[in-house]
Structure formats: C-alpha cells, structure tokens
Amino acid sequence: MTDTSQLGGAEGSPATDSDADLVARTVAGDQRAFALLVLKYERRVQRLIGRMVRDVDLVEDIAQESFIRAYRALPQFRGDAQFYTWLYRIAVNTAKKALMDMKRNPVLTHTALQSNDDEDETFGPQETLSSGETPDAALQAKQIGEAVNAAVEALPEELRQAVVLREIEGLTYEEIAQTMDCPIGTVRSRIFRAREAISARLKPMLDIQGGKRW
C-alpha cells in the first residue's frame, strides 16, 4: 500500500483533514493527501472485503486494487455522495470481480479452506473475562458470536453485503443504496430479511440460554 511514514507535519492528519479537502488535494496532484485517505479507510475497506472474500490471502490484494481504482477514478468523483460511500462501492465491485474470476479459475489457497473467525472483529467475543463475568457466561458469549458469524456467512451475498454495511460499517440506508446501486426500498428489504434469517438461526440457542433475540 501507499507509504504513510512521512505524513506528519503541515500536511495534516486523518483526524483533521476532511475527505473533501483530501480529495481536492489529491486531484491537484498531492499524493500524500491520497495516502491519508488510504490510512483512514484501509482497515474498513479490508474488513468489508473480508466479509465477501473469505480467503485472507486475497483481501489485502483486493483492497489495494480498490484503492488503485479509486485513485484513477478520483478526477471523476463529483461529490454527489460521501467519499467513503463512493469508495465502498468501488471496493464491493472489485471484490465481486475477484469472486467471478475465482469461479472461472477455482484455485483456492490454503487459507481459503480455513475459517478466520477467530481474527474477525465483527462479532468476535472478547478473549479475556470482563469484570464479574463468569466462565460460563464467556463461553455462551463466544458460542453466540460464532453462531452469528456462521449465520452471516450463510446469507446470500446481497443480504450479507447489506447487513454488514448497515450493522458493521454503520452506513445509512441511503448510503447503502448508493454503494449497492439499488433502490432504498430494496436495501430495507435485504436488511430485514438478513436480520430475520440471523434471528431464526440464533433462536434455538437463545431460547436455551434464556437470551433475547438478536
């Protein structure tokens, strides 16, 4: 990825520079400004792609390709949507293309055959007990977290993308509609169906444990 080791000083930081300013500076030829955008969104883009492409060896490559595509297309960015919404759409499309290429050439790397849920930040339980938490409660939380991850992974691709963008990335329905290039009503329907599917999968476990619906 872009070298961000020399980004201090007068050039600002991701916390102080708005996306609009960084986009304008990038288009004007300031590559450090784009490096700040990468620094700001790289982890989130990787996490999004990781929910679509479960081969961890490919996630970083696809994320890098997404940023390259964004950099090349940035002069056409008109600011009609938030920059990160526009970037996420590029990342989603890049990941979809990678998935299609994998189907045409279905060669899996070793890590594609292994689950990386233990490294997943989405619903992963804490490894250490919080204050007052019993081992039984920690085990239940871990089991529920694993069940949620499994339920999300079992969703059809479009439902999974919608619920991840909403529940994990915190995008609004309007932003998800822009990212997924579909009507907002479709987004609402997909998220509702995803939540229902996850809830149905968790219900037996939560009934046994006396929990409540996700």
- pTM score above 0.75: no
Q: What is the DSSP letter of 125?
A: P
The boundaries of every CATH 1.10.1740.10 domain in the chain are 14-114
Please say whether the structural domain 129-209 has been given the CATH code 3.40.50.300. no
Count the neighbouring beta carbons within 10 Å of the beta carbon of residue 183.
10
Residue 151 has pLDDT above 60, yes or no: yes
Tell me the CA distances in angstroms from 62 to 18, 139, 162, one per residue in order: 25, 34, 19
Helix ranges (H only) for 51-82 are: 56-73
Tell me which CATH code domain 14-114 carries: 1.10.1740.10
pLDDT at 137: 59
The boundaries of every CATH 1.10.10.10 domain in the chain are 129-209
* Rounded mean pLDDT, 161-166: 89
Q: What is the mean pLDDT of the chain?
A: 76
Angstrom distance (rounded) from CA 158 to CA 2: 31
pLDDT in tens, 14-63: 444 689 999 999 999 998 899 999 999 999 999 899 888 877 888 889 99
Residue 186 corresponds to which amino acid? T
Contact 50, 65 (CB under 8 A): no
